[in-house]
Amino acid sequence: MQHTPSMHALRAFEAAARLGSFARAAEELHLTPSAISHQVRALEEHFGRAMFMRTSRTVILTPEGERLLAVLSPAFEKIAAVCAELSPPTQKQDLSVHCTPSFAAKWLSPRLPVFMAEHRNINIRISSSADQLDLAREDEIDVLIAYGTARRGGGVKTHALGTEEIAALCSPDFAAANRDVDEKDFENLVRLESTFSPVRWSDWARHNGIDMAAHQTGPAFDRGSMVIAAAVQGLGLALETVRFAQSELNAGSLVRFGEGRFRSIERELHFLCYRTRDEATPKVRRFCDWIMAESGV
């Protein structure tokens, strides 16, 4: 058999080429950047040609490097998938999922019992924060549900979890008390602010052709779930995704304000993110297939 480079050198090269950075490859493989550089240089010496064109800030693949990466990445993905498939079926596999607190509480958690019943060998571990995370740098997270925007590239695949309706919502009593409010009086209504939402009241006003002052008229919250809870209590008018408020709308504790007089905004807000190398891994594939089906995409 023809002599081939070491597996360590091939793995270091693949990670650096896929992520476009020796530093990121080092983080992923739990090595130092100098160790990655040493392995890549050994690979280049083996082949007698450069795999990267090095600059002061980044690394760019040579044509030979592109050719090698095209073979290595799918090969490593298949190896990971086969190893996972051959693992004992009774062995629990942890799957780390990160999302915002409101997505976890209002949408994901109520649906998880179905997934858990169908996949008893997958142990879901959920973490949450409002921070924008880069999955390429968060090695302990398997799947990220990003909110607002999602960072693309760097060995990460991203799928929008459908278009969402962002509507003006309120309690039935609030709607009844303000039934005769017209557009010129709208800016005097108590408007609840969701500080992390990328869709603002000013966006909604422009969408509906309303001239509204920019000043805040009500309390501000850093969780969509808290905005919805405040609206249910009659505290004011909420601008939130129906994805978070569907149970309240079904129960009648929230209604769309204006009885059809105002238009909702439609926008992609949540994004499913996972590493390209993990795409064929059974636990990641099954969870991603399930959450996309639940989202109707």
Residue 1 pLDDT: 44
Record the tokens describing residue 100, joined without a space.
Answer: 């915002």
Does the structure show a pLDDT above 90 at 271?
A: yes
Among 249, 167, 267, which residue's Cα sits nearest to residue 208? 167
Span 167-182, average pLDDT: 91
Record the tokens describing residue 73, joined without a space.
Answer: 């990445």
pLDDT class of 90 with cuts at 50, 70, 90:
low
pLDDT class of 56 with cuts at 50, 70, 90:
low
Mean pLDDT of all residues belonging to the chain: 89
Rounded Cα–Cα distance for residues 167 and 172 (Å)? 15
Q: Which DSSP symbol is given to 215? A: S
Question: In CATH, which of 1.10.630.10, 3.40.390.10, 3.30.9.10, 1.10.10.10 is domain 7-86?
Answer: 1.10.10.10
Residue 126 pLDDT: 95
Listed in order, the ranges of the chain carrying CATH 3.40.190.290 are 89-297
Listed in order, the ranges of the chain carrying CATH 1.10.10.10 are 7-86
∠ CA 134-136-139 to the nearest 5 degrees? 100
∠ CA 74-76-82 to the nearest 5 degrees? 100
Rounded Cα–Cα distance for residues 262 and 37 (Å)? 59
The model's pTM: 0.72
The CATH class of the 89-297 domain is alpha beta
